[in-house]
Chain A
């Protein structure tokens, strides 16, 4: 066999098989497929193009199994088994047909590529980007100045904010807050939600406190009441 050690360029299951056949100038027949089966299995074993093969591994195995099937039938034939004795599997001729079709597609695609790159395009009008008069109505130089000043202002503000954010904030844990609330409720049976938040205008503590009472409510340890919408929440401990 010549060219046996030629490096295979293709990486897809059918492509590899076609290339193996081509290297040995074999037509697509049962006999040649049987002949090539070992080489195909060799290729799979070498696992050279791993990353490309792995995604198509099931297809590779499908092709390999069909090749083995075809080969074993031919060998059995030699030993005098009649074709009729062997039930014909669907996949047998399917592989051959698929190979023939895929080979044709490859040939046709080369021709199509030639046509596509021959630069005999049918050209049409291109979109041109043009500012229409409409964009420029109600516009004067003062607006431009205002917009620019606003951008500068926003930028300054943004910069300040960045520095502020860098200040380290005390972290309030829900766990701690729950403990704190429980202790408070042991002493006083009823308390307003706002009284649970020690520091005024601290969003973080407010949120943590709220999450804490939700957790306690879920566990059935406290009762929450609210007379009407947006009114103060009343937190009460549940008597056991």
Chain B
């Protein structure tokens, strides 16, 4: 068997430590983006169907090869690694929830909901790598915040929509304007 596309993609995903952008991956492999995405989905399906330890996490254009959530405990035991328990203050969780269910959202929008300045908390979350700052599509001078791939990994979901009741909650919150 030759080196088909799915194998190449799997190889790169296996070796890469960081998240990969699908656009960059497709360009590198010299294929159309949607073909690349199709193969990635195929790979994800394979892992699922054959009950493997691996799965993929998707965040917009970014993907990463990860272990399924049920592997976390076992792997930590094997490597005798105690992950430090991160502390999340109520204020941090509020901002995070707003970004997860209402994002991408600007600083002004977040502060309007909370009624307090949220600069410091946004900075803390950004340092932890849990949120990403991006330029607003319509107006590039305004920054919006959105969940990062790392946050999805921490939440144990392979895409945002897999959070329980995501659709319900996000449309509920978006109704508030």
Contacts and interface: CB of A to CB of B under 8 A. Distances in A.
Contacts of B117: 55-56
B85 interface: yes
B150 to A, nearest CB: 9
B172 A104 contact: yes
Nearest to A100: B176
A118 B86 CA distance: 11
Interface in B98-128: 98, 100-101, 112-117
Contacts of B154: 116, 121
Q: At the interface, is chain A mostly helix, strand, loop or mixed?
A: helix
Contacts of A13: 115-116
B72 interface: yes
Contacts, number: 109
B115 A105 contact: no
Nearest to A126: B17
Contacts of A102: 113-115
Interface string B156-175: 11100001100001001100
| Interface size class of chain B, counting residues whose CB lies under 8 Å from the partner chain | 35 or more
Interface stretch (B26-34, B40-48, B87-95, B136-144): B87-95
B36 interface: no
Contact of B66 (A12, A110, A112, A124): A124
Interface of A: 12-14, 55-56, 59, 63, 97-98, 100-102, 104-106, 108-110, 112-113, 115-127
Interface of B: 16-17, 55, 57, 64-73, 75, 83, 85-86, 88, 90, 93-94, 96-98, 100-101, 112-117, 152-158, 163-164, 169, 172-173, 176-177
Which 7 A-B pairs give the minimum distances between C-beta atoms?
A: A109-B93, A120-B156, A122-B66, A120-B69, A109-B97, A122-B153, A101-B176
